[in-house]
Amino acid sequence: MRSQKQNINDGGLAITADMQSILDQPGFISSQMGGNQLRQMFQTAWAMLDLFKLSPLARACMMGHSLDAVKEVLSRADAPDIKGTETPFQLGYVSLAVLGVNRHHCFPPCNPEHFKIVEYLVQSGAPLDVPDIAGHTALHHACTPPDIKLQFAKLLLQRGANANSQNRYGEVPLFFALQGGDAELTDLLMEHGAKMDVEDANGDSPKKMYVVFGAEVTATIRKWERKQAGAGPAPCEARKRCENCRTEQSGLRQCARCHTVRYCSVECQRAHWSTHRPNCHAFSPSTTVTLKPQFYDDTVAYSTADFARGYLGLSRSGKSAERPGTQMLSPENRRMIIKIQVPLSSTTGLLIYNRQRDFTCIVHRNTGPEAYDTIAQTVRSKGVGGTNGHKAYFAAELRRRDELVVKVSEVLAEQPF
Residue-wise pLDDT for 46-55, tens only, equals: 999 999 999 9
pLDDT at 70: 98
Interatomic CA distance for residues 23 and 134, integer angstroms: 8
Mean pLDDT, residues 191-214 taken together: 97
CB 61 within 8 A of CB 117: yes
% of the chain surpassing 70 pLDDT = 86
244-278 pLDDT tens trace = 999 998 889 989 899 899 999 999 999 999 999 99
CATH 1.25.40.20 residue ranges of the chain are 17-228
How does pLDDT run across 361-379, given as a tens digit for each residue? 999 999 999 999 999 999 9
Is pLDDT of 302 > 90?
no
CA 341 to CA 375: how far, in whole Å? 10
Buried b (16+ CB within 10 A) or exposed e, 290-302: ebbbeeeeebebe
Say which residues have a Cβ less than 8 Å from residue 383's Cβ, sequence separation at least 6. Answer: 340, 342, 390, 391, 392, 411
Position with higher pLDDT, 115 vs 308: 115
Region 169-193: mean pLDDT is: 98
| The pLDDT value given to residue 318 | 46
Percent of the chain with pLDDT over 90: 76
CATH superfamily of 17-228: Ankyrin repeat-containing domain (1.25.40.20)
Q: How confident is the model over 308-351, as pLDDT tens digits?
A: 555 555 555 544 444 445 555 655 558 899 999 998 776 789 99
User: Looking at the predicted structure, is the pLDDT value of residue 301 above 70?
Assistant: no
Predicted pLDDT of residue 110: 54
* The pLDDT value given to residue 161: 99
How far apart are alpha carbons 112 and 89 in whole angstroms?
24
pLDDT score recorded for residue 280: 93
Q: What is the pLDDT of residue 364?
A: 94
CA atoms within 13 A on the CB side of 145: 21
Confidence (pTM):
0.86
Mean pLDDT of the chain: 89
Taken in order 253, 255, 257, 260, the sign of the CA dihedral is negative
**5, pLDDT greater than 50:** no
Q: What are phi and psi of 349, to 5 degrees?
A: 95, 160
3-state secondary structure 319-375: CCEECCCCCCCCHHHCEEEEEEEECCCCCCCEEEEECCCCCEEEECHHHCHHHHHHH
Q: In the Cβ-directed half-sphere of 308, how many Cα atoms lie within 13 Å?
A: 18
pLDDT of the residue at 329: 60
Degrees to nearest 5, angle at CA 392 with 390 and 398: 125
Side chain identity at residue 6, one-letter code: Q
Identify whether the C-beta of residue 192 lies closer than 8 Å to the C-beta of residue 157.
yes
Please give the residue that has the higher pLDDT: either 411 or 387: 411
